[in-house]
Structure 1
């Protein structure tokens, strides 16, 4: 939710108005070949969310993440699942939410993992896992060994990527959000999440799947709208995905982790062209 205050003074350089909880409209100056003009521009909302996990007498803050408001429940669940702090939705007994905070109350928790967990206090929308306080902690992935997964075709990948572009209302309005989606082996998208942070979009997606008892997601493809960073590969493996399709490029650490765990990592996915960086046997030309 965006807090509404008094309207800005008429001599304010840039005025704005709140539209929906995910979008905000600003009066801006635009310069171009035809000179300068004043227009209304819509941007994606970014606000802090404090996440806390509680079990019995033990309660720990997981820090503050910068996110697009909405689907906070799924975001927190997906985040905790990706970090290995919860493994099933049945472990959660209660969820308490407010405008800028959420508390996940669990019936039980792995106290060893919780005690080893340390992050800096604020996680920006551009970085989720970079708050870890040590390299060894960051590189540890909690989760089962990946299964064989589906066999998919280039046509299925092209279908899912094209559909992804059509199903991003926040991006279409603002140009400032990322998307994560799951699709069948035929390329049919079954669910999609958006957020200003690529890791938040994936956490929301994983939280949705967790809530609906659809993890591990070994028979579904994961598609992301941007580059494939290490953190996205980490989250994909934890959720049991065997195929990760990225519209953009992967990082070196993303490729190395995908190869280590047997994840099929596809980058630069576009019409009639893609690059497979690991486990290519799951992808066929026809």
Structure 2
């Protein structure tokens, strides 16, 4: 679609050690943020602010993590509606998902608020407890085993594939890894939750669900919403570069998920599910505790 980035003039101000001010004008590259309306069977479900691209993955990932669909066969068709902008050209900002005939239609009471933002948390949810009960996968039973070295390496591997971030510095990313550290899919977006939905939507289309034995790595913090999205896809481990929230840790502990935060360089903190992080005895001698 060619609308992932946009150039804009900006004034750059630099201060010297002597507090002298230097001003220059130069074009800057920005990450594009535009609304995406998601429709189900022709009915508007929600609008989210996102970075254009991988829109079908985003729509399907959101439907999966909201419990609307559970498998690729639940979706009969995904298509962009030919909505037009003020210039008369298609915006590709509306996706209509047609569900399979045997998938229950959405009741009117399930309709989301019509606008969510790219920084959305748990928006418009009637009950956090209701969300916790939706996952059909028991990640607690996943026998996955991971080394601290592998977990610590994931953020750098993810960062090396953030092509649009290199140009803008303004996007989050989510990456899906195997237990051996192979990077299967990367998605970028101005919204952390959108990047995760895009990765999960990709996995749904590839008929890889549940994501048993896989690891999700995110470039920012681990919120409750990102943790529940991982659970909906059957992911046993979530790794974040920054801190988790209290609700994220509680949800991970209750469901048997491994939650890792502050994975930066040679350090990481395991907040839940430490049984999956295996440290050999010969290495443990060098650990503090």
> TM-score when scaled to structure 2?
0.86
Specify the alignment match of 2:89 in structure 1: none
> CA offset at residue 110 of structure 1?
3.2
> CA offset at residue 141 of structure 1?
2.7
> CA offset at residue 188 of structure 1?
2.2
Specify the alignment match of 2:93 in structure 1: 100
Specify the alignment match of 1:280 in structure 2: 274
Q: Which structure's residues are more often strand, by fraction? A: 1
Distance 2:147 2:128 in 1: 36
Distance 2:75 2:235 in 1: 23
> CA offset at residue 138 of structure 1?
4.3
1:46 corresponds to 2:33: yes
Q: Cα deviations across residues 144-196 of structure 1 (Å, max 9, x unaligned)?
A: 22132420001111222211111101111111101111112122212111111
Q: Does the Cα contact within 8 Å between 2:152 and 2:268 map onto a contact in 1?
A: no
Correspondences of 1:4-153 after superposition (within 5 Å): 20-33=2-15, 34-54=21-41, 60-98=43-81, 99-107=92-100, 108-111=102-105, 114-127=107-120, 129-146=122-139, 147-153=141-147
Distance 1:88 1:138 in 2: 18
Q: Which stretch of the first structure deviates more once superposed, 178-187 or 239-248?
A: 178-187
Q: Secondary structure of the residue that 2:79 maps to in structure 1?
A: strand
Q: Following TM superposition, where does structure 1 have runs of at least 4 consecutive aligned residues deviating by more than 6 angstroms?
A: none
> CA offset at residue 63 of structure 1?
1.2
1:258 corresponds to 2:241: no
Distance 1:78 1:246 in 2: 19
Distance 2:43 2:130 in 1: 18
Distance 1:172 1:47 in 2: 20
C-alpha distance 134-158 of structure 1, shift in aligned 2 (>3 A): closer
Q: Does the Cα contact within 8 Å between 2:221 and 2:240 map onto a contact in 1?
A: yes
Distance 1:128 1:44 in 2: 20
Gaps of 5+ in 2: 16-20, 82-91, 281-289
Specify the alignment match of 1:13 in structure 2: none
